[in-house]
Amino acid sequence: MSRPIVTEQQWRAAHRRLLDEEKAATRARDALAAERRRMPMLEVTRSYRFTGPAGELAGAAGPGEVGLPELFDGARQLIVYRHMLRPADPEPCTGCSMFVDNLGHPAHLRARDTRLVLVSAAPIDEIAAFRDRMGWRLPWYSTTDEFQRDFDVADGFGLNVFLRDGGRIFRTYFTTGRGVEALGSTWTLLDLTPLGRQETWEDSPPGTPQTPPYEWWRLHDSYG
């Protein structure tokens, strides 16, 4: 190994220097999240259809069919990750699957009025079978209309964020590529949303709901 071997005093001095840089990076990420919360919004005016497993779809318009408003499931914010599972896929995307493996428990997002769902071009029976194989329980829908094209995920993976205001829906954020690989925890996902973590220390626009940090945290089976 090419790393130097030093005394404890030298190691602690080097660690302090690195910690200062890490703290600066954290403050820079907080500033980016604050800027993200002030991004302009794009209203979604087209209708889209999604197919999900029978018995899991509240407000279904037909056998397993819902529109984009129903994906919110009553939440104010919606995060949609497009997993690249294809019809009759012999080799499901390992990158997309590693991303899903790293996602935190959805109850923590729901405590912040946010829902996370997956969508793919594969038919719902194939989605259900692969979800069972992987041991995942996140809601996952089949989409075959213009949704993937309109939201920049027709040719790959990506994550879109939406905000619901009464009967209106707005697109607020999109990321793909390496913008996805650092995500997974509740905090990193909430930092992408227009309402953020909804904690009092955040620099957010007026009217954003906020509570003191830590006080809203629960065991994932204790939110009520």
Model pTM score: 0.94
Helices (runs of H) and strands (runs of E) counted in the chain: 8, 8
Specify the pLDDT at position 70: 95
Given 3-state DSSP classes, what are the helix, strand and coil percentages for the chain, each rounded to the nearest 5?
30, 20, 50
Whether pLDDT at 97 is above 80: yes
Phi and psi, residue 6, nearest 5°: -130, 175
Specify the pLDDT at position 1: 74
Specify the pLDDT at position 156: 96
Specify the pLDDT at position 197: 98
pLDDT digits (tens, 9 = 90+) for 171-221: 999 999 999 999 999 999 999 999 999 999 999 999 999 999 999 999 999
Specify the pLDDT at position 54: 63
Which has more confidence, 56 or 196?
196
Specify the pLDDT at position 224: 82
Give the burial class of 5: count Cβ atoms within 10 A of its Cβ; 0-12 exposed, 13-18 middle, 19 or more buried.
exposed
> 11-190: CATH homologous superfamily?
Glutaredoxin (3.40.30.10)
Specify the pLDDT at position 53: 78
Question: Rounded mean pLDDT of the chain?
Answer: 94
Which has more confidence, 74 or 60?
74
* Token digits of residue 22: 């890490």
Please report which confidence band the pLDDT of residue 93 belongs to, taking 50, 70 and 90 as the band edges. very high
How far is CA 97 from its chain centroid? 14
Cα–Cα nearest to 181, from 160, 197, 153, 159:
159
